[in-house]
Amino acid sequence: MKSTLILTKEYSLEEIEDLCSLLLPLLLGKKVLFYAPMGAGKTTLIKQLLRNLNIDGNVQSPTFSILNEYYSNEIQDFIYHFDLYRIEKEEELTQIGFEDYLDGNRTVLIEWADRLEVFKPHDALCVEIEINGLNSRVLRLMKLN
């Protein structure tokens, strides 16, 4: 699948709030696929994105629940956060109605998107995070064509 590079940004944990302020206008209302190795900071980045949106309640990883649903007072809408790490077969996603969450203009954040093939949204944005040292990461934002 082809993609178009939108943004490349090197950042540290101390700069993550500013990075999320830059990313949010680009991600809202989109299906966003996150690709990165274990420990690269996918969940940390998503938690900060959600904090920037004034989410009610505690933001946590949906590793065991697969899906967390949040309401943003900032945009007056729901945001869905999937963590597909525990998905062994893509067919398991039909049991939770995954396809239904891809309909509409709501923001859907999907960690471990490499587990998707059939259900991969064709109009999605991709966030790749590369570890660039102990406290340094490189983020690439791309649009699938």
Q: Answer whether residue 134 shows pLDDT above 90.
A: no
Q: Higher-confidence residue: 9 or 56? A: 9
Which residue range forms the structural domain that includes residue 80? 3-144
| Whole-angstrom distance, CA of residue 63 vs CA of residue 134 | 24
Q: Domain of 120: which CATH number?
A: 3.40.50.300
Tokens describing residue 14: 């101390």
Question: Could you tell me if 36 and 130 are in contact, meaning their C-beta atoms sit under 8 angstroms apart?
Answer: yes
Average pLDDT over residues 86-96: 89
Question: Could you tell me if 101 and 109 are in contact, meaning their C-beta atoms sit under 8 angstroms apart?
Answer: no
| Whole-angstrom distance, CA of residue 98 vs CA of residue 76 | 22
Long-range contacts from 65-68, C-beta under 8 angstroms, 24+ separation? 66/96, 67/96, 67/101
SS3 state at 140: strand
Question: Could you tell me if 124 and 144 are in contact, meaning their C-beta atoms sit under 8 angstroms apart?
Answer: yes
pLDDT tens sequence across 4-52: 999 999 999 999 999 999 999 999 999 999 999 999 999 999 999 999 9
H/E stretch holding 33 reads strand 31-35
98 — pLDDT class (breaks 50, 70, 90): very high
Contacts of 143 (CB under 8 A, 6+ apart): 3, 4, 6, 124, 125, 126
pTM of the predicted protein model: 0.92
| Whole-angstrom distance, CA of residue 81 vs CA of residue 68 | 5
How high is the pLDDT of residue 60?
Answer: 77
How high is the pLDDT of residue 1?
Answer: 64
Q: How many domains does the chain have?
A: 1
